[in-house]
Amino acid sequence: MARFLKQRSELPHDALVTTVMSNLGLEVAMRRLGIRLMKTQVGDRYVKELMDREGIALGGEQSGHIIFSRLAPTGDGLVTALQLLRVMLDEREPLSALHSFISRFPQILLNVRVREKMDLGRIPGLSDAVREVERALGDEGRVVLRYSGTEPLARVMVEGPTETDVRGYAEQLAATIKSSIGEVA
Q: Distance between CA 87 and CA 85 in Å, rounded? A: 5
Q: What is the domain count for the chain?
A: 2
Specify whether 74 is located in the same domain as 6. yes
Q: Tens of pLDDT along 88-131?
A: 999 999 988 988 888 889 999 999 999 999 999 999 999 999 99
Q: Distance between CA 89 and CA 80 in Å, rounded? A: 14
Specify whether 10 is located in the same domain as 71. yes
Specify whether 92 is located in the same domain as 119. no
Specify whether 93 is located in the same domain as 124. no
Specify whether 84 is located in the same domain as 11. yes
Q: What is the CA radius of gyration of the chain?
A: 18
Q: Tell me which of 63, 81, 98 is where a domain ends.
A: 98
Residue 50, pLDDT > 90, answer: yes
> Any idea what the Cα angle at residue 11 is, between residues 28 and 66, rounded to 5°?
75
- Residue range(s) defining the domain that contains residue 30: 2-98
64 vs 122 pLDDT, higher one: 122
Specify whether 119 is located in the same domain as 175. yes
Q: Tens of pLDDT along 4-49?
A: 999 999 999 999 999 988 988 999 899 999 999 999 998 889 999 9
Specify whether 7 is located in the same domain as 93. yes
Q: Tell me which of 76, 98, 120 is where a domain ends.
A: 98
- pLDDT score for 185: 58
Q: Identify the CATH number of the domain in which residue 7 sits.
A: 3.40.120.10
Which run of H or E residues covers position 157?
strand 153-159
pTM: 0.76
Q: Tell me which of 98, 125, 158 is where a domain ends.
A: 98
